[in-house]
Structure 1
Amino acid sequence: MRNFFKFIGGLFLMVFVVTACSIDDDPANNDFFIGKYNGNVSYNDANVNKQNNNGSVQVVKVGNTYNFLFSDEIPDITGVEIQKNENSAVMIGSTTTHYIKINANNLTILFLKDGATWTADANR
């Protein structure tokens, strides 16, 4: 019986995630968003140089906090705050510089932190 409830709970979660964000949902208009953007991704630091023209970025948003989960063993960018109902974040600081623009169809990232650079130019 316990496994049955785990199965039902997992099934409910899967249905919720799949139906929560349709392809035309704009992340700025949702408190919870999951979407996959496909296109050019890259990462460079002192030891690593990765680039893929067919890469992807999985975007997970909860509240105003975005997490960008890259393909190709590129480190993730997590904890980026973008104000609700805005589609871009621009921050220039002492250790982090970034430009992120996201909407229902496109994702553009230029993120520099601690000598590393992430980029993405992807579509959904």
Structure 2
Amino acid sequence: MKKTIQIFSMLLIALTVMSSCKKDTDPADRDFFVGTYRGTVSYSKGDTQINSTDGKVTVTKVSDTYSFFFGNNIPDITGVKFQESGNTYISVGTGVVGITIDANNLKIGVSNTNGTWTANCTR
């Protein structure tokens, strides 16, 4: 019985150590860029020009696509997929190429039929 308790205790310690190591997971292995970024944002389409040095972009994820919700009356960018490149993710797909994101930075340079978006934000 003493041996069983000793083995159980060692397993419990090992599980505790393994679960605490998960906090050190490489950010590229999880959805680390979901959240709010702040910085310079802009949007233009035709006569509409919106610029802000105090803008914000909120990034959300549903399934395997991401959405970028802007403040300042800037239209949202939705349905974006990413490809990993080291610890940085790069947007892929028609009409949304030009978004890079990592643990601390969001850069957007997207131009399509719906307008042109730029962002240089951090969190």
CA contact (8 A) 2:33 2:103 kept: no
Q: Counterpart in 2 of 1:34?
A: 34
Using the size of structure 2 for normalisation, the TM-score is 0.67
Runs of 4+ aligned structure 1 residues displaced above 2 Å come to: 28-34, 83-86
CA distance in 2, matches of 1:103, 1:32: 8
The aligned residue for residue 76 of structure 1 is 76
Structure 1 spans left out of the alignment, 5+ residues: 1-24
Aligned in 2, Cα 1:97/1:66: closer, same or farther, shift over 3 Å? closer
Partner of 1:103: 102
Q: Distance in 2 between matches of 1:87 and 1:49?
A: 28
Indicate the percent of aligned positions where both proteins have the same amino acid. Answer: 43
Partner residue, 1:9: none
Q: Give the whole-Å Cα distance in 2 for the aligned partners of 1:29 and 1:64.
A: 14
TM-score (norm 1): 0.66
Contact 2:33 2:102 in 1 (8 A): no
Partner AA of 2:62 in structure 1: V
**Aligned residue pairs: how many?**
96
Matches within 5 A, 1:12-27: 26=27
User: In the alignment, is the contact (CA less than 8 A) between 1:90 and 1:98 conserved in 2?
Assistant: yes
Contiguous gaps of at least 5 residues in structure 2: 1-25
Q: Which structure's CA Rg is the greater one?
A: 2
Does structure 2 conserve the Cα–Cα contact (< 8 Å) formed by 1:100 and 1:110?
A: yes
In structure 1, what is the Cα distance between the partners aligned to 2:116 and 2:81?
Answer: 18
